[in-house]
Structure 1
Amino acid sequence: MHQSLSARNALLLALPPLLWASNAVVGRLVAPLVPPLTLNLLRWAVAFLVLLPLASWALRPGSGLWSRWRRYGLLGLLGVGLYNSLQYLALKTSTPVNVTLVASSIPVFMLLIGMLFFGQRPTRRQLAGAGLSIVGVLLVLSHGDLGRLASVRFVPGDVYMLLATASWAWYSWLLTRTAADDPALRSHWAGFLMAQIAFGLLWASAFTAGEWLVLAPAPVQWGWPLAAAVLFVALGPSLLAYRLWGLGVQRVGPNLAGLFSNLAPLFAALLSATFIGERPQAHHAVAFSLIVAGIVVSSRRPAARPAEGSPESGA
């Protein structure tokens, strides 16, 4: 049974989009220094080493990881291997505006996957909330003039982000389906995340090997800028954000949680404005209001209908 959207749950789900928005900015800045799939491998390798003292027990026989290797292999593929690799690849080959525009479809994918594969029919409130939030995202992307969206051109890199978005939606739904049959790992957040990273690193290593064998990218430009970037994305957008997102999804459900992902484009716009010295504009405030309104509308539960024959029922 999912909880209501309390202030604490809202904070849990608002912090990951902020961290992921900063991840997009950092990923764009270091794109000339390291190939995208290699960056993803470095990111999760550092995260693995940081988490190891807290969750090395999860790798031992009998922990539950190996008996459920198919489940964690799929979670690692979707959440660590595919999503992050495709996101960095999109940042390498597409524009930030296009990547953000495609990423704004996450709530739609959440609703579709929940309906098609998990038997969850979206309510009218959820559909209305998704619509409001998406309008808010489009307002940010168009700088307050929705007519400018007609001039946006999509390139092959946008397909990578579309696949990444679908991968993340599927991953988020799977997070709600692993508690009953795996209480040992799910009772310890570090162990549960370690189980995903362990398999995710195998996928990321395979993708990176393919990158170097097939694409033959330019050599990695090692140095303090790249080291600082890898450390940041390993600690913030990886460990902290995944922990908070997983906890938030389990508490309020994937459909409602998916709407919070629409805060990422707004945060990205604000971070970009900060880096280039521009102040936030009026349309940022309007967009924020629309995104929050979408979350509030979706989170409201319909009023209970009076029982037949009660004074309130009018019978």
Structure 2
Amino acid sequence: MQASRAGSGRIDWTTLFLLTFPPLSWAGNAIVGRLAAGTVPPITLNAVRWVLAGLLLAPFAWRGVLEHRAALRRHAGVIAAMGVLSIGSYNALQYLALTTSTPINVTLIGASTPLFLIVIGALCFRERVKPLQVAGALLCLVGVSFVLVRGEPARLAQLDLVPGDLYMLAATIAWSAYTWLLRKQRPDVPLPVLLFAQIVMGVLASAPVTAWELMVQDQPLPWNGKVAAILLYVATIPSLLAYFAWDRAIARAGAQLPVFFITLTPVFAALLSTLLLGDWPRWYHGVGLAAIGAGIWLAQRR
């Protein structure tokens, strides 16, 4: 990432768009994943999504892959881990979560990523944890727990949770581990090259699971206008365009400010769910979002 080239910190309209576009895209991805439930198997949807994204990216990345092949070989283990955690695990688990959970729940749980970043950083990378980060992490935990129990603390005793919520928790942990690898061991190669290499590794790693899912489903992947639109969206906007916009946003605004814009994802998901799915937000979604947002704000304070 090129955060060092961020200017004086003043946010212009272009930077504001680059910061806002990815959360909107990821909220749309949650809506589309919900629409695909029952039509396209979740793990298959993830595999086809990234195969298409890789094919679209290949003309722009292939020359760089050849130029940096020595570095890619040298960091093959790290790139494989990144591909499995992000392409193979996070996205597949998110689509799997959306088969039983709602886009609002999924994006709210995903917004708790800073909590798991702190925990994984302290346990695996010996990162120093500051008191404000602990307080912020606890607030995030309260917000996520409130959403998981649907505003009814008595559910904690009954462990009456939707499976999709647990899948999304696992996805969030995988993404947090991927983020630490990206921060600590990112190979020094251009972004298109790194993304293409991760796609290849992630697709290869998920191929056996995808094949198993198709065998269990015992039905061919349906091909119609709805499926084509779903695949076109997930292969382009949240996979490629949002990724590049996020990279440019960090280069312009630095590494800290974009974290706050992640909390817009559940807000956009709530709006899109209401407009497209008729799925109105509940009061506990607002409480959870407020707690998560406050926790992230507190943890990021110097």
Residue 82 of structure 2 corresponds to 75
The aligned amino acid for 1:49 is: L
Spell out, residue by residue over 1:132-184, the C-alpha distance to the aligned partner (whole angstroms, 9 max, x if none): 55666778x59xxx8446569313333322221110000011111234xx32x
* Matching residue within 46, 50, 57 for 1:51: 57
Give distance in 1, aligned partners of 2:293 and 2:217.
44
Query: What's the CA shift for 1:210?
Result: 2.1
Whose radius of gyration is greater, 1 or 2?
1
* Structure 1: runs of 5 or more not aligned: 302-315
The aligned amino acid for 2:238 is: P
Spell out, residue by residue over 1:47-89, the C-alpha distance to the aligned partner (whole angstroms, 9 max, x if none): 1111111101244375222232111111000010011111111
3-state SS of 1:66 partner: helix
Query: What's the CA shift for 1:259?
Result: 5.9
* Matching residue within 27, 48, 58 for 1:42: 48
Residue 301 of structure 2 corresponds to 300
Identity of aligned residues (%): 42
The aligned amino acid for 2:255 is: V
Tell which deviates more after alignment, 78-87 or 260-269: 260-269
Residue 166 of structure 1 corresponds to 173
Assess if the C-alpha contact under 8 Å between 1:133 and 1:259 holds in 2.
no
Assess if the C-alpha contact under 8 Å between 1:34 and 1:219 holds in 2.
no
Assess if the C-alpha contact under 8 Å between 2:34 and 2:102 holds in 1.
no
Q: Write the mapping of 1:8-19 to structure 2, written as runs, cut at 5 A.
A: 8=11, 14-19=20-25
Spell out, residue by residue over 1:269-297, the C-alpha distance to the aligned partner (whole angstroms, 9 max, x if none): 12112225699899988877665554443
Residue 36 of structure 2 corresponds to 30
Assess if the C-alpha contact under 8 Å between 1:137 and 1:262 holds in 2.
no
3-state SS of 2:184 partner: coil
Q: Write the mapping of 1:227-306 to structure 2, written as runs, cut at 5 A.
A: 227-245=228-246, 251-252=254-255, 260-276=261-277, 293-301=294-302
The aligned amino acid for 2:194 is: F
Residue 196 of structure 2 corresponds to 194
Residue 128 of structure 2 corresponds to 121
Tell which deviates more after alignment, 74-83 or 28-37: 28-37
The aligned amino acid for 1:127 is: V
Query: What's the CA shift for 1:13?
Result: 5.3
Residue 220 of structure 1 corresponds to 221
Give distance in 1, aligned partners of 2:222 and 2:35.
13
Give the paired residue count. Answer: 290
The aligned amino acid for 1:50 is: L
Give distance in 2, aligned partners of 1:7 and 1:138.
36
TM-score normalized by structure 2?
Answer: 0.78
Spell out, residue by residue over 1:221-257, the C-alpha distance to the aligned partner (whole angstroms, 9 max, x if none): 211211111111111111123334456678426xx86
Q: 1:147 to 1:289 in 2, by over 3 A?
A: closer
Tell which deviates more after alignment, 151-160 or 200-209: 151-160
The aligned amino acid for 1:25 is: I
Q: Write the mapping of 1:84-103 to structure 2, written as runs, cut at 5 A.
A: 84-96=91-103, 98-100=105-107, 102-103=109-110
